[in-house]
Structures are given as structure tokens and as C-alpha cells.
Amino acid sequence: MIKKYHLYQIDSFTKEKFAGNPAGVITNADGLTPDEMQKIARELNNSETAFILSSNNNEYDVHIRFFTPTNEVPICGHATIAAHYVRAIENKLVTSRVYHKTGAGILPVDIVKENDDYKIIMTQGKIEFGSVIDEINIKNLILALNISSKDLLKDYPIQIVSTGHSKVMIGIKNIETLNKMKPNYDALSKLSNDIKCNGYYVFTVNSQDTDILIHGRMFAPAIGINEDPVTGNANGPLGAYLVHHKLVNHNNSSFRFKAKQGEAINRPGIIDVEVKIANKEPVEVKISGNAIIAFKSEITR
């Protein structure tokens, strides 16, 4: 018997088609094997593709698996936004909270219906502060990014941080350097093996603009993503990092900011980040954004 799988390409963190971060979504993925999911992700060649599977218990509404073109990953910010956006459309959801099972645990997602459209708010996983990169690997990182030590922001430790899928946080001084960067992807991949982290989030702090605090670029060539346009699982942990290292002012309850990413590769998008704070430390991170359907199709099997 032939089964038809509903395939969407969703652009997340934007309301403009072919901007933001594209993610594939299969909304009725029950029956697909992990190998088939991987092949579909490779064929679509987005940084991630999300596969929505039915729940088999009362703890969560859906199970979502995320694949890059080469690997399954525990969770993905923009593909979470994409998956729940299209699921809300298909199911004509009202403003509500749902729970999804991911490789980072069972987490809530808030569906906000507004103006006959949806905004999606993703609560990210446990905040974990990993290793601060040592001097030898910092030298290798600088070489791989094709920048110099003078470009780095002082008092911003180069550190691995995770809210479900770890990234290296790398603060640099100006946006011109950020947008001109031409990394050596092979060198970054080799370094990933040494430091046990696949993603590199290079960011600059824009204190002059009252609307956008962060501009960034994210590279993860070790898992088949040379550059990711707009990355939820980079900007979310960055928010925790900024609070933890006392690099921003906040009200001791929460810290909110907007980040813009994707400008250097002509796929700009904007992420809203909220960090919940207790005892001056980050305890929870949420990211939110809009999305739009670029196209939809079907796969038969």
C-alpha cells in the first residue's frame, strides 16, 4: 500500500519567503525508518529536517526527530519553530501549550495564534556550561575562522554552552569582521573532534542599536552544516552565557534580547530570546519566532 508523507519547507524566524532559516518538515512521519529519515534530510539538504511522529503516552503530544544532511541531532531551534508552525496550521490550533519529546528531553512549546497566523515559543533544554577552550585550541580556532586574536572581545570567554545541542561561544569586536569571515571548514571540522563540540557561534554585541543586541554567524561543518542561517540553539545558550558571565544588565528576573543572523549569506532572520533568572544565574531559556511556508509537497512510498 502506498503511503503519502506530507512534506513542507518552512522558513523560520522570518515572514519573508526565502529568508530566515529553511527547515524541512514531514508532518506524518510514522512508518519512516531512521535510515529513510536520514536520506530525506540529505535530499532536502537543509541544515535540519524535522520528522513529526505520534505520541505513544500521555507525557507528550508528539515526538520530533531532527536530522542534518549527515547526522541525527538531539534538538534544533529553527526546525522546532518550523515543525510546530506547520502542525498548528494543519490542526487549526488555538493559542495553547503542547509538549514534544526530543533528544533533549520532553519540553513545552507555546503556540500563539495572532492575526490568523502563529508565533512559536520554544522552551529549550537544560542549561549546561561546558569547557572554556584552552589557549592551544583558541589558536587553532582563530586560524580556522581566519580572524586574529585582536578581533576577540575581552572578558568574553570562549566556552562551550548548551541548551540541548552545544555550541562554542566566540565574541568578536565588530560586525564588519563578522560578515567578512571566510572560515576553513575542514579545520573547523578537525577542531570539533578535538573539543567535542560541532557548532561555532561567532557573535558581536551591538550596543548602539536599541532593537537588535546580537549579530551572529554559526558554523557546524562537522555535521554537514557549513553555515546555518539563523540558529535557535546558538542564540538561546548565548543568552544564558551573557547572564552567567555578567556581560549584560538585567532585572534579576529575566533578560530579553533580539538577535539577527544570516545577513552575510543573504538569509536574514530575527530571533527573540528570553532568559529566566534566579539568584543571578540563568535557569531557563526560551526562543521565539515567526515562520512561513515556502512550499509544500508529498513523498510517496
Q: So which residues are the catalytic ones? A: 48
Distance (Å, whole) CA 123 – CA 229: 20
| DSSP letters for 27-95 | S--TT--HHHHHHHHHHH--SEEEEEEE-SSTT-SEEEEEE-SS-EES--HHHHHHHHHHHHHHTT--S
Compute CA distances 12 → 4, 121, 156, 231, 273, whole Å: 24, 12, 29, 10, 14
Beta bridge partners of 4: 300
Distance (Å, whole) CA 258 – CA 216: 11
Burial class (CB in 10 A: 0-12, 13-18, 19+), 182: exposed
Distance (Å, whole) CA 85 – CA 211: 25
